[in-house]
Structure 1
Amino acid sequence: MRYLLLAFAFTVLLAVVSLFVGVSDVSLTGLLAGGAEGRAMEVFVISRVPRTLALVLAGASMAIAGLVMQMVVRNRFVEPSTTGTTESATLGFLVVTLFAPGWPLMAKMAVAAVFALGGTALFLRILRVVPLRDVLLVPLVGIMLGGIIGALTAFIAYRANLMASLLAWNMGDFSGVIRGRYELLWIGLVCGAMAYIAADRFTVAGMGRDFTTNLGLNYQRVMVLGLAIVSVVSAVVLVSIGSIPFLGLIVPNVVSLIVGDNMRRTVPWVALGGAGMVLACDIVGRLIRFPYEIPISVVMGVVGSAIFLYLLLRTPRAAT
């Protein structure tokens, strides 16, 4: 508990730093001097606070979704972006944008979540018929499936002259987050809370269908719940922010190396780790070329790929 409190304090510190990093001059002195009607307070309330909340909510929910995905698939090298889930959500968002552009954002998110659920179910179906003799074949299958879905999405977007929109959806970026454009991310927090409540069930389900059934749990219902959580979180983050690669893969793996595999114990650590990593990467992206900003998907891609390679090299490749 003591180390968890220290992690929480460190995440809060990163959040405070995030509030005061940016092109606009927002400082504690400026906030106090300008009062409630000053420009600094206006920027702080409309932009900085929503952006920081979005960073925390997106980071925590995506990390938890990655943990749930790894429990459901029983493989440490999967997450929504390596199983076709994110690509399927993007396809759903594109389809609803083409055929129902006037729908509210919540309805578009729901369609994206349905497509994400379908893509994940297709991935699991493929795993049943493909002989997997190596743990690395599972994410490889997911990456190939995601590539096929992504190619289809790109073709449709090209024919519909929506390539710019598709690029924006695939490029995770918090620079456009303001008050009124991030609130859907609270749904991700609700999904994270559901994952924590059902943590024991996911832990048992991670041991296999037979073991789960022998303990009196409905394996199919646990799987559906896990896939629903992953799909909704992926859709919410995609619609609100864009794609954030590797987050759901590296954070659960690093936490499991330190804390263990009991999901009830690891969920708070994963949530704090995801939020802290997204905050840190966003701060780096804002400072490295100040006053210009590097999208968080670029920073996360560089950091995440390096950590992913380290995990691959240190993990023994056992047969499944």
Structure 2
Amino acid sequence: MTTIAHKGKLFDYKLGLGVLGVLVLLAFSLFTGVYDIFGAEDGAEMFAVTRIPRTIALVLAGAAMSMSGLVMQLLTQNRFVEPTTTGTTEWAGLGLLVMLVLFPQASILSKMAVAILFAFIGTMLFFLFLRRVSLKASLTVPIVGIMLGSVVGAFSTFLALTTDKLQSLGIWLAGSFTAVIRGQYEVLWIVAAVCVAVFIVADRFTVAGLGEEIATNVGLNYRNVMLLGTALIAIATGVVTVVIGNLPFLGLIVPNIVSMLRGDDLRSNLPWVCLLGIAITTVCDLIGRTIISPFEIPVSLILGVIGAVVFIVLLLRQRARG
């Protein structure tokens, strides 16, 4: 991944228009649903219990997974990686499964902590493996990640089958905001802290994205920055996986679109990455809620289709450039 200096204003009228557009989408989210929040006697209560938490979850999950993809692409110097193409999500799912098997009555915080730990270990193993391979072509890196993730996913499926937890695991990992209600989503606010942390250390991630040799020459502790980036990615992925489930390709789609339009300056791109991540997640959720109403299609299914198309387009663009 080539880092191009593209300094611009962090806040301008275009960003203001983007914020306004996202607020309109979020308003649609608040007032879209089968339940009549205006006519029913408990409409106001249902609005507070379901619609508001769901919309907040869309904001937090969309922003966190998009930023995780951006950071991961910088650290690996590759545009084709994100938590679902490096095995991070599969490792988080394995951690969740371990808790479902060993401690089925554990609190959501305990499940989340183990999922984060497994996601961190899996992501570190991916980075360590990359340091050992000689081929660093743009397609090699995501292929390695997908292969490692497939191995972990296969092991998780086998473990779930042998412990009769396959259905439970499928429900947990199916990325959907259907079950998001007041009292069960609040841990997602942790990823807001992750987003703030990424913004604070954005310049260090940008320098680290230039490579270990350059980063070391300018006085940056490359390994510590890599550990910090991995930890932030693991926290965001673990929390979102436990609360929402798998949101495939979101971290791939958003950073690439923003990068094509604005260049690769991390700090000035972060607000746009957050906004676009929220917008895409919200649009997919609205489609899932309305296309076969009163039933819902999981957001992960729609994101998977869109992400696969974008992934193919990016591959073709890369091939055209040689």
Same fold (TM over 0.5): yes
Cα distance in 2 for partners of 1:317, 1:40 equals 54
| Secondary structure in structure 1 of the residue aligned to 2:127 | helix
Cα distance in 1 for partners of 2:194, 2:45 equals 31
**1:247 maps to 2:250:** yes
Return the letter of the residue paired with 2:17. Answer: L
Q: CA deviation at 1:182?
A: 0.8
Q: CA deviation at 1:101?
A: 2.5
| Secondary structure in structure 2 of the residue aligned to 1:184 | helix
Q: Could you tell me whether the CA contact under 8 Å between 1:134 and 1:317 is conserved in 2?
A: no
Q: CA deviation at 1:119?
A: 0.6
Cα distance in 2 for partners of 1:22, 1:271 equals 25
Q: CA deviation at 1:316?
A: 4.1
Q: How many equivalent residue pairs?
A: 311
Alignment of 1:38-49 (within 5 A): 38-49=41-52
**1:145 maps to 2:148:** yes
Q: Which residue of 1 aligns with 2:32?
A: 21
Q: Which residue of 1 aligns with 2:4?
A: none
Cα distance in 1 for partners of 2:36, 2:163 equals 41
Cα distance in 2 for partners of 1:245, 1:85 equals 11
- TM-score scaled to structure 2, two decimals? 0.94
Q: CA deviation at 1:97?
A: 2.0
Runs of 4 or more consecutive aligned structure 1 residues displaced over 3 Å after TM superposition: 316-319
**CA shift digits 1:177-215 (9 cap, x unpaired):** 100111111111110110000000000000001111111
Q: Which residue of 2 aligns with 1:223?
A: 226
Q: CA deviation at 1:134?
A: 2.1
| Secondary structure in structure 1 of the residue aligned to 2:34 | coil
Cα distance in 1 for partners of 2:232, 2:115 equals 13
2:188 to 185, 190, 194: 185
**CA shift digits 1:66-105 (9 cap, x unpaired):** 1111111111100000101000011111112222223321
Q: Could you tell me whether the CA contact under 8 Å between 1:136 and 1:317 is conserved in 2?
A: no
- TM-score scaled to structure 1, two decimals? 0.94
Cα distance in 1 for partners of 2:36, 2:77 equals 48
Q: CA deviation at 1:151?
A: 0.4
**1:99 maps to 2:108:** no
Cα distance in 1 for partners of 2:56, 2:259 equals 26
What value does the CA root-mean-square deviation take over the aligned residues? 1.4
Q: CA deviation at 1:125?
A: 1.6
**CA shift digits 1:128-155 (9 cap, x unpaired):** 2222152111000000000000000011
**1:64 maps to 2:74:** no
Cα distance in 2 for partners of 1:167, 1:6 equals 38
**1:293 maps to 2:296:** yes
Q: CA deviation at 1:115?
A: 0.6
Q: CA deviation at 1:26?
A: 2.6
Unpaired segments ≥5 residues, structure 1: none
Q: Could you tell me whether the CA contact under 8 Å between 1:96 and 1:111 is conserved in 2?
A: yes
1:267 to 254, 265, 270: 270
